[in-house]
Amino acid sequence: MTPDQHHPAPSEGDARRAEVHERLEQLGGIDAGVARQVARDTGVPEAEVYGVASFYHLLSRPQQKVRVCTGLSCRLAGADDVLAAAQDAGMPCEGVSCLAGCDVPPAVLRERRVLPKLTVQDVQRADGQWEQLESEAAQGMTPGGAGGNSAADASAADAGPTSESTAPAVEWRGHVGPERDDPEQLALNLYGAPDRSGAAFRQAQQLGPEALFEQLETSGLQGRGGAGFPAHIKWRAVHGQPETRRYVVLNGDEGEPGTFKDRELLMRRPDRVLEGLAIAAAATGAADVYLYLRGEFGVPWDVIAREIADAEASDRFPGVRFHMHAGQGAYICGEETALIEALEGKRGMPRLKPPFPVENGLWGMPTLMHNVETIACVPSIVERGGPWFAALGRAEAGTKLYCVSGHVVRPGTYELPLGVTLDELVAAAGGYVGTLKAFSPGGASSGFLPADMRAIPLDFKTLGGVGSMLGSSGVVVLNDSVSMPWAVEQQLKFFEDESCGQCAPCRIGTFYLHTMLKRHRSAASDAHAGGASGSVSASSAGAATGGATGGNGKDHPKPLDKVADAAWQMNEGSICGLGQAASLPLTTALKHFGDEFAVG
């Protein structure tokens, strides 16, 4: 990936520190002598450079060229077999957290490019050469192929590779719906042709900031990245700050398991993403816009880079400068203040709030940050008005990109009215595979809900009211072949792996919950095996049920006895949403599927 050569930082020191990530990536990650070289190049102390590099997965383990997603959706599709095949073939590989390829499982990262639907046969064809690893399925998912399905796809068809490997670069697409070009009913209109006229940008300038803010307020646009915060409040807050230097930042660090909508938006409608950012910059008085994209998003990076080059060549958005920054594989950087820390060249650890980014954000300046989907809605609101957007939803405003994966016929991204039910969403995805048992409505952070809640609206308020959340709308569907304790363990492992470690309640709590569930599952397995043979050890039964008495005459507690206490401490004592939500997979599963956690 080509690093940004110009950092509009307040000072030379800030600018040099911001170069640390790019320089580390250029040199291939943290290897012998690299930290010292980067320190010489940037003037940042070597110890600090090493501290930064060791924080990020893609920089700290550069020797791993192949990374197999071991998230829930990918494991359901055979990721374990693919990883084993790659290891057996002698490839430098490892299992990693979600790659935003839940709709095309198993997803595998080769250098900085995600390969969809990779099979054991694909691994065998590479004959141990990781550089030659390619997905045969991707050939039918290119623009114009089985997975490519819009005029917008053609804008990305001529990209070159960003990976260092010698395998051909295939620009694949996931499935999106509904399969029509309908700008009147679809705010994002993934099937629409690119609009590079800049008309919405000019219209927004004619409206002026206050009239634009009123349209955003009338539209009811909420943040689409998880929080559901009203967009107009952020815009007004940044616009009203006394500091004249301001920034707009795109949060494209899509890492929530089950979520991949931003990937499709970046590839299919880069024109709308850039125009939304330009409108935001002009309205809030910012000259510089940062686009922070996942380091794993090799193809979206190419597409956005070309779109920026075209916009600059045609002066589509006068007065607005765009800067691209590649994330380096840390889920926590999806949190807004952690992302800002990463942009500044530091370890991506969340800040205490307040102050909020609208007051004190990038380099201490007022910063407007939005998710990809949120900002891409803005041009349509400008063109058609706030009331139009509000009317597209049900109880809450607008359309919503829902990601659906797991046990459905056509996993993909679907733009539907905000507030549809699970049954309506899955109907758009071709129906259920097997009998519905459970679903996560908003990624791993939303926990699990039972099949009898399939008729509730999938919106922010309703899901919050039942102890879950819409989050990033990464819906994972599970049928009755799945063990809930097993499914929960996958999510708990994710949170343990991705905790930044700053907050003790999160750092210790994620480890504790994962460990206790593994211990419970082991005891349950022993009890089941013992029951089948007619003998159950007192230690196994006691560890699982708490009903046995040890040699000292005291009862042994169950491994899951303290879950509620740990969850409370994590929620109350963690700085950011990771620690606050990390217990939800277990607490919701215990609530709705408690019988599966019983032993004996």
Per residue in 289-340, pLDDT (tens digit) is 999 999 999 999 999 999 999 999 999 999 999 999 999 999 999 999 999 9
pLDDT of residue 543: 39
Note whether 210 and 235 are within 8 A (CB).
Answer: no
Residue 164 backbone dihedrals phi, psi, to 5 degrees: -80, -10
pLDDT of residue 156: 42
Q: How many residues appear in the chain?
A: 600
pLDDT of residue 31: 85
Q: Three-class SS of residue 66?
A: strand
Give me 450's structure tokens.
Answer: 């039972």
pLDDT of residue 527: 67
pLDDT of residue 536: 33
The rounded distance, in Å, linking the Cα atoms of 568 and 580 is: 9
pLDDT of residue 523: 86
* Angle (nearest 5°) at CA 466 between 464 and 468: 55
Could you please report the per-residue DSSP string of 112-175?
TEEESS--HHHHHHTTT-GGG---TGGGGGSTTSSS--SGGGGGGTTPPP-SSSSSPP------
Q: CB under 8 Å to 97, separation ≥6 — which residues?
A: 69, 70, 71, 255, 257, 331, 494, 497, 498
Instruction: Name residues of the chain where pLDDT drops below 50.
Output: 1-5, 144-168, 532-554, 556
The rounded distance, in Å, linking the Cα atoms of 262 and 528 is: 44
Write down the pTM of the prediction. Answer: 0.91
Q: CB under 8 Å to 336, separation ≥6 — which residues?
A: 251, 357, 369
Give me 205's structure tokens.
Answer: 């300038």
Amino acid at 201: F
Strand partners, 69: 96
Give me 282's structure tokens.
Answer: 């002009």
pLDDT of residue 271: 98
Could you please report the per-residue DSSP string of 272-303?
HHHHHHHHHHHHHT--EEEEEE-TT-HHHHHH
CB-neighbour burial class of residue 196 (10 A; exposed 0-12, middle 13-18, buried 19+): middle
Residue 401 backbone dihedrals phi, psi, to 5 degrees: -85, 110
pLDDT of residue 544: 40
Note whether 440 and 222 are within 8 A (CB).
Answer: no
